Structure 1
Amino acid sequence: MPYDKPWLNIADQLAKLQARGMQVEDAAKAADYLERIGYYRVSGYWYDFRQRSAPFSPLDAETGGKPRKKVRVERPVLDEFKPGTRFQDAVELYVFDKKLRLLVLDALERIEVALRVDLSHRLGEKDAFAYLKPELFHERFSVQLDPKTGLTRHHGWLGKHAALVGRSRETFMTHNKAKYGLPVPIWVACEVWDFGCMSTLFAGLKADDQDVIAQTYGVADGRVFATWLRSLNYLRNVCAHHSRLWNRNVVEEPRLPVAGAIPALDGFIGNSGLRTRPFLLLCICQHLMGVINPASTWGSRLKQHLQTGFPNLSHVGITLQGMGVDEGWELRAW
């Protein structure tokens, strides 16, 4: 359908929000936020402040209004805001989310660096250029062809790896290329891999190599750990692109270890609703941080931010439950 929404200046944007029931207590300050953050970006934070229509099922008309079992009930979001919604509420939620993303990036940096060492050490022992050797990876990664491209996943990974090495201007990389040429050994190459490149290579490892690395992080099954890395790469991309995180629907859902293996994750087992929210990924980060640096204060800083940084939005029915916290989360050791 053709796009027919008109351009609005800042004053008109505020007037539109007020007409839909949002309280704007300081118009000048609100206008400043819209100019610096942008209407579209901050709108993601007031989405849950909007009212919903009365429950409606597409089959109601067929049943004469009588309820049916196992029928999806639709409640479309309306333009109008819930009573008591304030512009400042959305701003405070935005600020909370910004600080949360910065905390997460701090943890992901440490996790990424530690995993680079683990991957390069494990594979480098086999061959300095192990990442080029198809025989060191499982067949679905290094032999099986994608019917659409006619290439293996390993071929695709090598293309990304080559691009990262080629555009790197790091001193250590230019030195190695000038003195020894290409390819560069894995312990050099890994320093320019991004999280996605690293997680893809880990997923291509043979099972025994995956297990050895995963077990250093207290995860018995390397295939479970591979899904963690894929999910953390998704989390990293959300944070790096400054996207809304706190109540995001996680499309890269990680697998969980068996009950009791990592007690902090037990509350998510059997609860699909919690597994698709970001708090599970934060708990995974905390577990990994505890292995990488047992003296780290990251977990306590995260807990403090969740407890003191989350704005009071009870008047519009919004709580930390939206990010998927499990029961008793605040009582665990952080």
Structure 2
Amino acid sequence: MQYSKPPLSIDDQVARLFQRGLVCENPERLKHYLTHIGYYRLSAYWLPFELAPVEPDSRNHHFEAGTTFDRVLDLYDFDRKLRLLVMNALERIEVAIRTRWAGAMAKHHGPHAYMNSDLFKDPWQHQRDLAMLSREVKKSSEVFIKHYLDHYSRPFLPPIWAIVEMMSFGQLSCWFSNTSNTEIKKEVMRSLKLPTIEVLEKVLHTLTPVRNTAAHHGRLWNRQFPMTLPEIKRLRERVMPNSAPDRLGHRIFNYLVIIEYLKSVINPTGQWKSQLMSLLETVLESDLRAMGFPEDWREREPWRGVE
């Protein structure tokens, strides 16, 4: 089927939303946000307020009675603040893992250990990852990269403690997973107080789409992520089981639990948990349920007693 829907002007978008039952006392305000945020982006936040479809695999498009634009905008603003908090924590986690992995690799195998295929389980994957890093270095304008290239001709890439700064979260996950020296992996694992290397690798793998969603301004609220976290015995009572109804184990709640756990290991005196709790108190229980929060989440660790 060929796509044939014509684009709508902002005025036409406003008219369509009113015709479908959205309540907004100030059309100019609605027009402003449609202009600067966009109809399509906002539609992800008003979708849960649409009436149930008449036929399967379709949309009704009409809103439940009393659905206001302010309600939709509040959800959008909440999600934006949630993304900033998640990115703040994941940045700390990513930097800590980079630092520990690079330090351990350098200690055991020298400053350019990452260039040696013999130190990685899959040499073909290593060559692909190294080529990707080389391209990043070639086009980089970072001062530390330019300094190295201006002063040294061999090796042609900077030492590992510099090169890790060029890695994305996903790349770091791949490099770590492909590392063959288990003692190096155990050093990183122990520093994060995780039980096994396999758990750490799975955590990195499953946090990557969360990080990418937040970094690219995607929606965290009411989203199902493709992978579930590994079972971690000490966190079993904190998370929703992967077998939970409505795929609640795939929603952001479980990821917030592991993010908070790792963040508290890295920075035990930080205020991130309190900031997150304050933000969560600004939305309705139904909004939390859409993120996989159980009814008793405030009685569970690590949220119990947090103000």
TM-score (norm 1): 0.83
Which of 118, 135, 157 is the aligned partner of 1:163?
Answer: 135
Indicate the larger mover: 261-270 or 33-42: 261-270
Show CA shifts across 1:270-322 (max 9, x none): 437222101111111100111101001101111110112x2x4x8xxx42111
1:75 Cα offset (Å): 6.4
CA contact (8 A) 1:50 1:82 kept: yes
RMSD: 1.9
- 1:204 to 1:51, Cα distance in 2 relative to 1, 3 A: same
Aligned ranges for residues 3-42 of structure 1 at < 5 Å?
3-42=3-42
Show CA shifts across 1:128-149 (max 9, x none): 21111222122xx32xxxxxxx
Aligned partners of 1:319, 1:184: CA distance in 2, in Å? 47
The answer to whether structure 1 residue 321 and structure 2 residue 281 are counterparts is: no
Aligned ranges for residues 12-91 of structure 1 at < 5 Å?
12-53=12-53, 74=56, 76-91=58-73
Aligned partners of 1:21, 1:168: CA distance in 2, in Å? 51
For these two proteins, the number of residue pairs brought into alignment is 297
Aligned partners of 1:241, 1:227: CA distance in 2, in Å? 22
Show CA shifts across 1:28-84 (max 9, x none): 111111011011111111111111136x7xxxxxxxxxxxxxxxxx46431211122
Structure 2 stretches of 5 or more lacking a match?
none
The answer to whether structure 1 residue 244 and structure 2 residue 244 are counterparts is: no
Match of 1:66 in 2: none
CA contact (8 A) 2:117 2:127 kept: no
Secondary structure of the residue aligned to 1:117 is helix
Aligned partners of 2:195, 2:215: CA distance in 1, in Å? 30
The answer to whether structure 1 residue 128 and structure 2 residue 111 are counterparts is: yes
CA contact (8 A) 2:239 2:257 kept: no
Show CA shifts across 1:137-166 (max 9, x none): 22xx32xxxxxxxxx222221122112222
1:233 Cα offset (Å): 1.8
Structure 1 stretches of 5 or more lacking a match?
57-73, 143-151
1:117 Cα offset (Å): 0.6
CA contact (8 A) 2:239 2:254 kept: no
Secondary structure of the residue aligned to 2:228 is coil
CA contact (8 A) 1:53 1:77 kept: yes
Match of 2:278 in 1: 304
The answer to whether structure 1 residue 107 and structure 2 residue 107 are counterparts is: no
Amino acid at match of 1:184: P
